[in-house]
Amino acid sequence: MKHIAILGYGVVGGGITGVLDGNREAIRAAVGDDVNVKYILDLRDFPDSPYGDRVVRDASVIMNDPEVCLVAETMGGAHPAFELSMDALRAGKHVVTSNKEVVATFGDKLLACAAQNGVSYLFEASVGGGIPVIRPFLTSLAGERVSAVRGILNGTTNFILTKMKTEMRPFADVLREAQELGYSEKDPTADIDGIDAKRKIMILGALATGILADESEVYAETISKISPLDMDAAERAGAVIKLVATAEIEDGGVAFFVCPQMVKKTDLLASVDDVYNAVSVTCRVTGDVLFYGRGAGRWPTAGAVVADVVAALSGAASAERAPVFVKRSGTVKDFRDVSFSYYVRLSGVSAMDASEEFERYFDRVSVLDGSPAGKTELICSEATGRELEKLLSGRADVESVIRMG
């Protein structure tokens, strides 16, 4: 019998006991032993749960119990998740987590502490919910050189953008629906402004490069400025607007960013709709590999946590190459130095005048057909953010600027 503890018995934590109960036989076969939840750390009581008698309020009970060989941290937030995870690792317990904030912020320290203590720190569930992406990255793509990671990593914004497109409704309206459906938090900022996706691309970027960026080094742009006019323009450009998180890896440096982009319909990411997530990894030998699935939700996320529990308790994880994350300031490229093509919508200027003017700054400028009355739409390539800023500064006729993916 292997004993584990769960820190935080919320949506995901509660899902873990559900998965452990529902798939007991398959899990026993994979681990080679029964898995027992000995403790649950939570401030609340759960009198109706069969696990109600496992609840403790004092973390030291868990840390001091040598029978507990693994801790599943599903508390969310950086603190006290970080401190408790460090305590568990120092006590020689494996730690598995679904908490992207703690991995993106303290992943370097947590992985180092795990290595020092000869245990595993696993975080498959922190990115892409139920999609197996972290482990394939570390195992199947071990020995590969990754040149880019691109992903649709936030289900809430993808749901909103999909609805806006198919029903041509404004952002605020669809956001309200997402909140009513429970897809979005009451305070939707972390989703909408790309903060959640930013943490996830920091984790994937660190897996690909070894460099754990500082949050301030990663650009994130909101989807709240996207309008039905933009959606319509994307359609005419043969594209779909998606919130894309990117890690670009070149010999010269790495760049991490999250922003709404017009993604060509021939790009598989354009077909990822609703709450689904996808991660595309560009490898030197293998080419493009894409992982797709449900990016959030109780069961997929809990399933991914349990997969990590199985990997840790079966010994599989300890045979895998553990990642090493390093914070090294100055290695991440400024987002304003990354080049893009852009969709630009202007009002009150003719297509001829606008394109003539923009051709002075861009190598290629084409006019998008079918613009609404009084609007001119251009596709311009290519310029860095700095160049674009200069060009657009002080212009009152610019309605919308969206990067092309």
Given the rule CB under 8 A, which residues bind a copy of itself? Answer: 19, 22-23, 26-27, 29-30, 124, 130-132, 135-136, 139-145, 266, 268, 271-273, 283-294, 297, 299-300, 302-304, 306-307, 310-311, 314-321
Spatial distance between the Cα atoms of 270 and 291, rounded to a whole number of angstroms:
14
Do 307 and 280 form a contact (C-beta atoms < 8 A)? no
Only one residue has tokens 């590969």, namely 144
Do 194 and 221 form a contact (C-beta atoms < 8 A)? yes
**Cβ 308 to a copy of itself shortest distance, Å:** 9
The residue among 109 and 135 lying less far from a copy of itself, judged by its C-beta, is 135
Spatial distance between the Cα atoms of 162 and 337, rounded to a whole number of angstroms:
30
Q: Which of 268, 313, 265 is nearest to 31 (CA)?
A: 313
Spatial distance between the Cα atoms of 83 and 253, rounded to a whole number of angstroms:
32
- Which residue in the list 200, 242, 264, 390 is annotated as catalytic? 200
CA 309 from chain centre, in angstroms, equals 21
Q: Which of 261, 196, 207 is nearest to 234 (CA)?
A: 261
Q: Is residue 200 annotated as part of the catalytic site, yes or no?
A: yes
Question: What is the rounded (10 degree) CA torsion for 230, 234, 240, 242?
Answer: -40
Instruction: Give the SS3 label for residue 165.
Output: helix
* Angle, alpha carbons 161-167-170 (nearest 5°): 60
Residues marked active site are found at: 200
